């Protein structure tokens, strides 16, 4: 039976968990100190869109041609239905179908 925590594991987990939590809470507390109007506000308002895009675009490009086609289909479905579950299902089925048709 292997031991539950090997040497250094507790320290490593506590350190990395502490860093992660400090970043999460620190960002919020820093933003609380920014002015509510003017450029700082504009910066915060724009941040969600630009972060989300930065998270998504590189991944979409890695998915290749079928990714781009699937993404287009998903966006169309989401635009018509505003339903995330449906969008995800369509994306999965579309990509599966594409892989099955062209890469078998």
Partner 1 sequence: MKEWIKGMQANIPLAVSAMAYGGVFGVLSGNQGVSWAEMLAMDLLMFAGSAQLVMIEMWQAPLPVLEMGLAVLVVNMRYLLIGASLQPVFDGRPLWQKVLGMHLVADENWAVTIAAHRSGGTCPAFLVGGGLLLLTAWTAATICGNLLGGRIVEPARFGLDFAFVAVFAALSMSLWRDRDDLLPWLVAAGLAVAGEQLLPGKLYIALGGIGGALTAVVIEVIKTTKFPTEPGTATDRLAETCEEVER
Task: Pick the closer one to partner 1 by CB: 4 or 102.
Answer: 4
CB of 102 to partner 1, least distance (A): 14
Chain centroid to CA 88: how far? 14
DSSP states of 19-73 as a string?
Answer: HHHHHHHHHHHHHHTS-SSSHHHHHHHHHHHHHHHHHHHHHHHHTHHHHHHHHHH
Which positions from 61 through 80 interact with partner 1, judged by CB under 8 A? 61, 63, 67, 70-71, 74-75, 78-79
Residue closest to 44 by CA, chosen among 20, 28, 21: 28
Nearest to partner 1 of 39, 102 (CB atom): 39
104 makes contact with partner 1 (CB under 8 A): no
Least distance in Å: CB of 51 to partner 1?
A: 4
Member of 8, 101, 102, 104 binding partner 1 (CB under 8 A): 8
Output 30 or 102, the one with its CB closest to partner 1.
Answer: 30
Find how far residue 51's CA is from the centre of its chain: 9
């Amino acid at each position: 039976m292997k031991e539950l925590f090997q040497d250094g594991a507790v320290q490593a987990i506590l350190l990395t968990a502490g860093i992660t939590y400090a970043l999460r809470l620190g960002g919020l507390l820093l933003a609380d100190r920014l002015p509510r109007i003017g450029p700082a506000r504009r910066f915060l308002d724009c941040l969600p869109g630009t972060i989300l895009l930065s998270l998504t675009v590189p991944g979409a490009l890695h998915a290749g041609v079928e990714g781009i086609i699937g993404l287009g289909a998903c966006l169309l479905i989401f635009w018509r239905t505003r339903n995330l579950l449906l969008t995800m299902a369509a994306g999965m089925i579309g990509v599966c179908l594409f892989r099955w048709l062209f890469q078998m």
